[in-house]
Copies of this chain bind each other. A is one copy, B any other.
């Protein structure tokens, strides 16, 4: 509920006070641009019907009045009046001190270590995810919050992992196909197709945009070893920042390079930092993959030794067992990782059995969109 509205700066600004004690200033231009009336926004699909150039540069507020739970604002020179819900203004206020921290993470994310998650791996059965909206919302919410989750009850038929993607979004097809085999091969085009252990990594850092989700599904697994592990790289980066903020500055402040040219007709290359921050310092993504890291060329000579020290320390923390959750996939089990955040690894394997996994990629925007839509329309019981 609004308690006070005052027009300041000759109509350029508005100062609002809410009954809960919050207060915030807004600019006339911001309010006009974000007006909610049906001449400014399509009532049908919510899209804005005007461009910034349709709004006079000289826009000011000529009047502002609290009317019940809303604020009525009149703009000159258009002489246009619009209404904003008090709660909408409260939720969208921007008059607050921005964080000057680097590598902070969104409140939607809970960073974790092995101790937090080893006994609490989020799991659901595929058939429940397909049939029960609350189960699906819960599982998708875990992927948003923790960056990984397990699926059980996946048919052990080729390509069935795409059914997991269908519950929330769309497969990202690449040169590896809509899905791909992860089996030991004699002349592998990729080291993933051997029985070697693989250091914790994100997939395809040589791609731009990288696939933001990966699913690995198990069809057979009777070898010795071949266990899967996952690591929350956002927790690792937070630990690195706590012990040496300069290391995070170095790894986020210069691009790294990645390359994959293991198959005919494929020359994938990308130039992006190992730790990607948004302009406001938000930790957005990690790219970490020893196999496809190309020579670093964008770090000045004077900074290269320190950059390598930071890289080494990041790798040490990534291999620190305290960050690791491990499990051995059984046939019919799959796991999903947020490939911008969660590193995955496997231990070497041997023995007379077979290990047959399939992998596929998808994107997070579809997953988060489906989740947001489910949460909006969720049954009250599940939302408790």
By a CB distance below 8 angstroms, the chain B residues around A94 are: 295-301, 304
Q: Are B27 and A304 touching (Cβ within 8 A)?
A: yes
**Contact (Cβ within 8 A) B174 A366:** yes
User: Does the CB pair B175–A47 fall under 8 Å?
Assistant: no
Given the complex, which residues of B lie within 8 Å of A268, measured CB to CB?
365, 368-369
A247-280: CB near B (< 8 Å → 1, else 0) gives 0000011110001111111111111110000111
Assess the B29–A308 pair: CB atoms within 8 A.
yes
Q: Does A131 contact B (CB under 8 A)?
A: no
From A210, A253, A280, name the one whose CB has the most chain B CB atoms within 10 angstroms.
A280
Does A53 have its Cβ within 8 Å of any Cβ on chain B?
yes
Q: Is A369 in contact with B45, judged by CB distance below 8 angstroms?
A: no
- Contact in complex: A255, B278 (CB < 8 Å): yes
Checking B52, B255, B369 against A266 with a beta-carbon cut-off of 8 angstroms, the contacting residue is: B369
* A94, A174, A206, A293 — most chain B CB neighbours (10 Å): A94
Q: Which residues of chain B are within 8 angstroms of A271 by Cβ–Cβ distance?
A: 278, 282
Interface string of A18-58 (1 = CB under 8 A from B): 00000011010110011000000010111111111100010
Question: Assuming the A-B contacts A174-B366, A267-B373, A304-B27, are A199 and B262 also in contact, with contact meaning beta carbons closer than 8 angstroms in the complex?
Answer: no
Q: Is the CB of B366 within 8 A of A52?
A: no
Residues of A in contact, count (CB < 8 Å): 97
Q: How far is the CB of A257 from chain B (nearest CB, A)?
A: 10
Most buried by B among A45, A263, A316: A45
Please report the C-alpha to C-alpha distance between residue A7 and residue B14 in the assembled complex, in whole angstroms: 66
Contacting A298 at CB < 8 Å: which of B48, B98, B191, B365?
A: B98
Q: Which of A115-123, A182-190, A324-332 contacts B (4 or more CB under 8 A)?
A: A182-190
Q: Which residues of B contact A27 (CB under 8 A)?
A: 301, 304-305, 308
The residues of B that contact A369 with a CB separation of less than 8 Å are 175, 265-269
Within A339-384, the residues touching B (CB, 8 Å) are: 363-366, 368-370, 372-373, 376
A269 touches B52 (CB 8 A): no
Interface window among A65-73, A165-173, A238-246: A165-173
20 A/B residue pairs, CB under 8 Å, sorted by A: A27-B304, A30-B295, A30-B304, A46-B259, A53-B312, A53-B319, A94-B304, A95-B301, A98-B300, A174-B366, A209-B212, A209-B365, A254-B279, A255-B279, A255-B282, A265-B373, A268-B365, A268-B368, A268-B369, A269-B368
